[in-house]
Amino acid sequence: MYAVLDIETTGGKFDEEGITEIAIYRYDGHEVVDQFSSLVNPERPIQPFVAKLTGINSKMLQNAPRFFEVAKRIIEITEDCIIVAHNTDFDYRILRTEFKRLGYAYERKSLCTVKLSQQLIPEAESYKLGKLVRSLGIPISDRHRAQGDAHATLKLFELLLSKDSDKEIFQSLIEKNSPKKVPSKYMDIVDALPSETGVYYIYGAEGKLIYIGKSKNIKQRVLKHLTGKERKAVAIQRQITEVKAELCGSELMALLKEQHEIKRNRPALNHARKQTIFPMGIRVETSQGYKQLLWEQTRKTETYLEVFKNKEAAKKQMFAWVKQYDLCLNHTSLNNRKAECAGFALKHCMGACTGEESPESYNSRVEQLESEMQFPHSDFLVVDRGRNTGEKSFVWVQQGQFMGIGYFDLNFQLNCPKKIQNRLVPMQANSDAHALIRSFLRRKKYKKLIPLEPSSAENP
């Protein structure tokens, strides 16, 4: 017997979410024999982005039953059932958390249709519920509402059961308990961690630092390390003795601190990020009078318009710039080595490849790109949330170079370089740090940007 379910929540910090809606189909492998669906008053605020996504708001839930009022019905309809959900790690955890608040240990076997789909439909382009069921011809209505998503999961589950005729894969993926249940030997480590934004340091034997990471929810991220099955998680589980955390307030502060700490400490399990987060860069070089856009492995001696995690991302961005600024393919790393570039025939290129456009005319558009990729000011502060309600954080850029990060009290004025330096944690300027700052500036993911007069940024 199976209980196919979907849960909508308030969002928020890990293990502090509340259920806003739940739908359950009791399924015997052939037909639905019982079903239950209800809004739930979570008795806590709903995150704005969640309300927008689901359409469920606090006003709708004022007269809805609270969880303890529907708990008995949930226990009854899922009795002797395997819990089935699309991403069981989330739905089953939320359900267990709500019962835990009532002092009840809710235990069921569980099965995840994401994992089952990955095994039985390996060719799928996406395993997100909406995209997956549409690709399989399964209708879905009321997306991001519990009943609609639960019904789509039920139909997906029926299809997956029929594909796994021997039920070997199905049986291998059934979890006896919560798939995210933390071994007891780690509980003291996890309980001491905050559920806030920051950087965490994982230590092994003899106090050796083995891994540095960042997260918007440190406790949740470390839990993933301690319950995961991938190679890095297993290595962490085998070596971990202690975890220390430092709150950062904002995501940008955490990212900048993380990359700085990894480069400085070079932990053994941070393999991919010991050297650089963004190893591929696009820079400008002049050849025969024309400015060229070239991608390459980043070097400390060069300045880059933008840096990327891989060549594919750099290539995609270069194509976008060629289209946006009417650039010539023959003057980029996309060079097709023909007399005329492919864009010339389509009138996207103005003739730099044939000599019909002068270097001065062509270079003016490259210079416009260069200008738009620069920081908005030579000297400025990026101000964002601090580590507590009475504090703010800042990132300092001086003469176009990242100088470091710091924090200040709300009643403190950062109005001169000496005050900034007094609060500053210096960090090395590098392409990774500049890329992170530019990304947050483009997406306006900060509270305030304060331009500084170049003279005021000079050393006192």
Domain of 19: which CATH number?
Answer: 3.30.420.10
Question: In the chain, pLDDT over 70 holds for what percent of residues?
Answer: 95
Residue 208 in any domain: the answer is yes
- Give the other-Cβ count within 10 Å of 328's Cβ: 28
More confident residue, 229 or 116: 116
Give kind and range of the element (H or E) at residue 82: strand 82-85
Instruction: Return d(Cα 302, Cα 286) in angstroms, integer.
Output: 14
Q: What was the pLDDT predicted at 455?
A: 52
Q: How many CB atoms lie within 10 A of CB 280?
A: 20
Task: Identify the pLDDT of residue 292.
Answer: 94
Helix axes 251-265, 431-442, angle to 10 degrees: 170
Q: What would the two tokens of residue 417 be?
A: 């370089």
* Residue 139: both structure tokens together: 């209708």
Task: Out of 136-140, 248-252, 271-275, 426-430, pick the least confident.
Answer: 271-275
Domain for residue 55, yes or no? yes
> What does the pLDDT average to over 149-161?
94
CATH number of the domain within which 229 lies: 3.40.1440.10
Last residue of a domain, one of 106, 139, 172: 172
In a domain, residue 337? The reply is yes
Per-residue pLDDT of 400-438, as tens digits, reads: 899 999 999 987 888 788 889 999 999 988 888 998 998
Q: Is the pLDDT of residue 168 over 80?
A: no
Q: Mean per-residue pLDDT for 283-296?
A: 93
**How many Cα neighbours within 13 Å face the side chain of 62?**
2
Provide the 8-state DSSP code for 144: T
pLDDT score of 13:
75
Whether the per-residue pLDDT at 277 is higher than 80: the answer is: no
Q: Report the relative pairing of strands 198-203 and 448-451 from DSSP bridges.
A: unpaired
C-beta neighbour count of 103 within 10 angstroms: 6
Q: Are residues 384 and 360 in the same domain?
A: no
The pLDDT assigned to 181 comes to 58
Residue where one domain finishes, among candidates 273, 294, 324: 273
pLDDT at residue number 418: 86
pLDDT score, position 459 = 42
The answer on 213 and 109 residing in a single domain is no
- Report if residue 73 sits inside a domain: yes
pLDDT at 94: 92
Residues 284 and 191 in one domain: no
Q: 174, exposed or middle or buried, with CB in 10 Å at 0-12, 13-18, 19+?
A: middle
Residue 179 lies in a domain: no
Together in a domain, 22 and 137: yes
Last residue of a domain, one of 345, 372, 399: 372
Distances (CA, A) of 244 to 140, 213, 391, 448: 44, 11, 22, 30
Length in residues, the chain: 460
For the residues 154-159, what does the mean pLDDT come to?
94
Residue 202 inside a domain? The answer is: yes
Q: Cβ neighbours of residue 207 under 8 Å, at least 6 residues apart?
A: 241, 242
Is residue 182 pLDDT above 80, yes or no? no
Q: What is the pTM of this model?
A: 0.59
Average of per-residue pLDDT across 55-74:
94
In this structure, the answer to whether residues 66 and 166 fall within a common structural domain is yes
Structural domain count of the chain: 4
Within-domain flag for 178: no
Averaged pLDDT for residues 319-333: 92
pLDDT: which is higher, 241 or 309? 241
- What pLDDT does 12 receive? 81
- Rounded to the nearest 5 degrees, what angle is found at the Cα of 151, between the Cα atoms of 148 and 153? 110
CA of 168: how far to CAs of 80, 110, 173, 175, in Å?
21, 16, 9, 14
For residue 275, the model assigns a pLDDT of 63
Question: Rounded to the nearest 5 degrees, what angle is found at the Cα of 451, between the Cα atoms of 449 and 457?
Answer: 125
Residues 162, 30 share a domain = yes
The pLDDT, as a whole number, for residue 337 is 66
CB 30 within 8 A of CB 49: no
**Are 197 and 132 contained in the same domain?**
no
Q: Measured in whole angstroms, how far is the alpha carbon of residue 206 from the centre of its chain? A: 32
pLDDT of residue 386: 93
Bigger pLDDT: 459 vs 282: 282
Range in 233-237, 243-247, 347-351 the model is least confident about? 347-351
Is there a single domain that holds both residue 21 and residue 56?
A: yes
The confidence score (pLDDT) of residue 272 equals: 56
Residues 407 and 287 in one domain: no
User: Is 165 found in the same domain as 69?
Assistant: yes
Both structure tokens of 96: 């267990």
* Contacts with 102 (C-beta within 8 Å, 6 or more apart), sequence order: 67, 68, 71
The answer to whether residue 431 is domain-embedded is yes
Mean pLDDT along residues 12-36: 90
pLDDT band per the 50, 70, 90 thresholds, residue 457? very low
| Tally of CA atoms within 13 A in the half-sphere of 452 that contains its CB | 23
Residue 251 and residue 216 in contact, taking contact as beta carbons nearer than 8 Å: yes
Does pLDDT of 34 surpass 70? yes
pLDDT of residue 336: 64
Overall average pLDDT of the 8-23 stretch:
88
Residue 322 vs residue 416, higher pLDDT: 322
Which range of residues forms the domain containing residue 427?
380-457
Residues 239 and 299 in one domain: no
Distance of CA 437 to the CA centre of its chain: 16
Same domain (yes/no): 303, 247: no
pLDDT tens digit string along 183-218?
A: 777 888 888 899 899 999 999 998 999 999 999 999
- Residue 80, pLDDT score: 92
When the pLDDT of each residue in the chain is averaged and rounded to a whole number, the result is: 89
What is the rounded distance in angstroms from the CA atom of residue 186 to the CA atom of residue 41?
33
